[in-house]
Amino acid sequence: MEKIFEQGLLYDFYGELLTEHQRSIYEDAVFNDMSLGEIAEEHGISRQGVHDLIKRCDKILSEYESKLHLVERFAKAKEKLGAIEALTKMEDSECMESIRLLAQELLAEL
């Protein structure tokens, strides 16, 4: 399950950098939970070709992350916003409530 979550997160950030063909097959495998055989039949390629393309896409997406660190920065920002929200619950002031609400909005957007 963790691998699928990681694949989905990397795809969310970098999927548009894949070709349309790569995106289509990768989405079928990761998001539509189709088997290699089903994908191969739908796209008119071999099961091995599907397997190789998925592995290649995983590598490409991981390489983008290792260079750009967008997912890592996203996770850190989300963690910090969660901490800000938790801290604002400690004080009962109008200002802190506004900060808490802003933090909630930012967390929802991420």
Both 32 and 85 in one domain: the answer is: no
Q: Identify whether residues 19 and 63 lie together within a single domain.
A: yes
For residues 53 and 81, membership in a common domain is answered with no
Question: Do 77 and 37 belong together in one domain?
Answer: no
Q: Give how far Cα 52 sits from Cα of 22, 64, 86, Å.
A: 11, 18, 45
Centroid of chain to Cα 92: 36
**Angstrom distance (rounded) from CA 39 to CA 58:** 17
With beta carbons less than 8 A apart as the criterion, state whether 58 and 73 touch.
no
Domain co-membership, 46 together with 61: yes
Task: Give the pLDDT of the chain (110 residues) as one tens digit per residue.
Answer: 588 888 999 999 999 999 999 999 999 999 999 999 999 999 999 999 999 999 999 999 999 999 999 999 898 888 888 877 777 776 666 667 777 777 887 777 76
Range of the domain at 59: 2-68
